[in-house]
Amino acid sequence: MLTLDLLKLTETEVRDIVAAQCANFGSGTVLGIALPDSRYAQGAAVVRMATTEEAIRLVSELGGSRCGTKVILRLLQEGAVVPSTLTRHRDLEPMAESM
């Protein structure tokens, strides 16, 4: 998930920011950007990484969904309230059951 000022950025600027963020995890290509509109509060970016390992690292750090080397990242507006289900880290240990 990337949090950006989507209201002020153009699609090209968002594409460049997504590409720069993905470059931190390897060689990637932005395949598409869907900016939020009046029907949807969030957007999405589809990225293809060079290897599955790079895609796994990207998803583990930024969240999103992965199919092979392709990753779908959520794009959220800065300052928007983010539900805890989107920010919960998958590697947290389960809570111990009380007796």
CA–CA dist 20, 6 (Å, integer): 16
Does residue 85 surpass a pLDDT of 80? no
Convert the pLDDT of each residue in 25-34 to its tens digit: 999 999 999 9
Spatial contact of 70 and 48, defined as CB atoms under 8 Å apart: yes
What CATH number should be reported for the domain whose range is 2-80? 3.30.70
CA–CA dist 35, 10 (Å, integer): 9
| Partners of 28 in beta bridges | 49
CA–CA dist 39, 13 (Å, integer): 22
Of 25, 23, 49, 20, give the one whose Cα is nearest residue 9: 20
pTM, 2 dp: 0.74
